[in-house]
């Protein structure tokens, strides 16, 4: 199994776009990209706009060779809503657009999915010749109101993509991660750049994740890395991971690319 981050906050845009290669199959999880419309009272810098276009083109190019596409929820940074044509002919495994879903995501799904081959994936498992895909039941996006699903891809090793759990916050999210026992975990982490009340509970849950015996690496990105001080805010977690021999990396570092937190750097980009 090969895991390839395509776009993320550490690469300069709001995204968790990730390719997974299993044998000859290529699975694209959450092929979307967006920008924070406002940050520090500032609109996106032209460098961010350019990066979004680069990531959009890259996602569209990679989609051409993917049979399976997973959409964990219908927030616009998780699917290319402006390019519905790119998903025609793909086998879409998606957050159920009718059940356990809030109104805005249901509306977006209703505009995006017609004319496409899709299967609601909440809580389901799919067995293929050399690998399997397991989906979580629907979880809250942090404390809500949106609803998301996590996805576990299993071959010889297990890769768990948690999508926007914002932590994990809840016990059911944590239990799913612990039961999955992944070798590699993609965790979006808490949005510490906001007034996020359950932060201490999230930190406790993150420390419990480090007890997974099989865990080799954690990709941590998305909500957490919108905070310019994110490393300091989870310092204990990073130190404990190092003690246990678990690699904790941003998506950019995992992909061997330079970290560029453009949204978190927006003041700097504008020279403020």
pLDDT, one tens digit per residue, over 105-153 is 999 999 999 999 999 999 999 999 999 999 999 999 988 878 999 999 9
Question: CA quadruple 258, 263, 266, 267: dihedral positive or negative?
Answer: negative
Q: What is the pLDDT of residue 143?
A: 80
Q: Name the helix (H) or strand (E) containing 148.
A: strand 147-148
Confidence (pLDDT) at 232:
97
In this prediction, residue 145 carries a pLDDT of 79
Q: What is the predicted pLDDT for the residue at 85?
A: 97
**Mean pLDDT value across residues 149-158:** 97
Residue 196 sits at φ, ψ, to 5 deg, of -100, 105
Of the candidates 151, 158, 180, 128, which has an alpha carbon nearest to the alpha carbon of residue 23? 128
Share of the chain above pLDDT 70, in %: 100
* Separation between Cα atoms, residue 10 and residue 1, nearest integer Å: 23
Q: Quick one: pLDDT at residue 59?
A: 98
> What mean pLDDT is predicted for residues 27-31?
98
- Convert the pLDDT of each residue in 196-243 to its tens digit: 899 999 999 999 999 999 999 999 999 999 999 999 999 999 999 999
Q: Looking at domain 2-269, which CATH architecture does it have?
A: 4-Layer Sandwich (3.60)
Q: In terms of Cα–Cα distance, which of 1, 13, 71, 72 is closest to 39?
A: 13
């Amino acid at each position: 199994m090969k895991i390839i981050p395509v776009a993320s906050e550490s690469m300069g845009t709001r995204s968790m776009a990730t390719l997974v290669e299993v044998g000859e199959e290529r699975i694209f999880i959450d092929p979307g990209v967006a920008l924070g419309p406002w940050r520090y009272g500032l609109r996106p810098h032209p460098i961010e706009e350019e990066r979004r276009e680069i990531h959009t083109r890259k996602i569209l190019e990679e989609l051409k060779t993917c049979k399976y596409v997973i959409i964990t929820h219908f927030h616009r940074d998780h699917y290319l809503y402006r390019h519905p044509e790119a998903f025609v002919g793909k086998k879409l495994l998606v957050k159920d657009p009718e059940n356990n879903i809030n109104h805005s995501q249901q509306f977006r799904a209703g505009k995006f999915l017609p004319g496409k081959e899709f299967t609601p994936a909440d809580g389901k498992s799919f067995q293929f010749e050399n690998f399997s895909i397991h989906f979580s039941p629907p979880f809250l996006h942090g404390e809500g109101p949106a609803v998301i699903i996590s996805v576990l891809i299993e071959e010889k090793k297990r890769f768990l993509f948690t999508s926007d759990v914002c932590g994990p916050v809840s016990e059911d999210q944590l239990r799913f991660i612990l039961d999955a026992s992944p070798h590699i975990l993609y965790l979006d982490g808490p949005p510490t750049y906001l007034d996020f009340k359950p932060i201490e509970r999230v930190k406790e849950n993150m420390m419990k994740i480090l007890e997974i015996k099989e865990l080799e690496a954690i990709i941590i990105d998305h909500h957490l890395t919108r905070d310019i001080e994110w490393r300091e805010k989870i310092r204990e977690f990073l130190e404990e991971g190092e003690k246990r021999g678990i690699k904790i990396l941003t998506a950019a570092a995992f992909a061997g690319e330079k970290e560029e937190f453009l949204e978190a750097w927006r003041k700097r980009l504008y020279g403020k």
